[in-house]
Amino acid sequence: MTTTESGPATGQAALTPKILGPEPRIHPEARVFQSTLGAYCDIGAMTTISESTVGDYTYLVDQCSVIYTAIGKFCSIASHTRINPGNHPMHRATQHHMTYRRVAYGFGPADDADFFQWRRDDRVVIGNDVWIGHGAIVLADVTIGDGAVVAAGAVVSKDVAPYTIVGGVPAHPIRERFPRDIAEAMQRIAWWDWDRETLEARFDDLAGDAEVFVRKYA
């Protein structure tokens, strides 16, 4: 095993490569509440995950915020990403959170449970093998399909089709990752559901060309 060392210009100390395993790796400065994390997950520093599920092999880099979300397997989520930041009650006379965080402001003995259930019901669903770039925001009640890409800084307010690259504010389709027949075949293969032994046996194919992969496994 080797270590990674920075060049002399940076002056950083040598870094020991992280080793992931069946138990998720959670940075000591990350916070996870009422959530389920899969095998080989990696949760970075100052990331918070609340009432969510995170599939096997998915990683979130530092300072991400996730609530009321189902994230699939093998997702790559860059730092400073915000997933499901939560809507305010625009239909009320005031949208200030004193109307639902009543205890903190002395307006009642309990907070507004119905309001928080309303937020929970507007879950975000993220498929498998999705890449979400730095600083992206995914708003409530959005579904992102398998294999999609969300560009850095994008604000996703509508559903994203599988294997589609989106970007901008609000996010809009930029292009397809693969031709439609290849994308559909990838979803039928659903390699993300392979067990560890199969992944190891077919690893070189996963790291290779998508069309060759589809011809072999479709």
For residue 100, count other CB atoms closer than 10 A to its CB: 20
Q: Which helix (H) or strand (E) holds 203?
A: helix 203-206
Instruction: Tell me how far apart the alpha carbons of residues 192 and 37 are, in angstroms, rounded to a whole number.
Output: 16
Q: Per the structure block, which two tokens stand in for 198?
A: 């199969």
Q: Is 88 a catalytic residue?
A: yes
Q: Which of 80, 88, 91, 97 is the catalytic position?
A: 88
CA distances from 12 to 1, 118, 201 (A): 20, 47, 37
* Residue 146, Cβ density class (10 Å: 0-12 exposed, 13-18 middle, ≥19 buried): buried
| Inter-axis angle of helices 180-189 and 210-217, nearest 10 | 50
> Could you give the residue numbers annotated as active site?
88
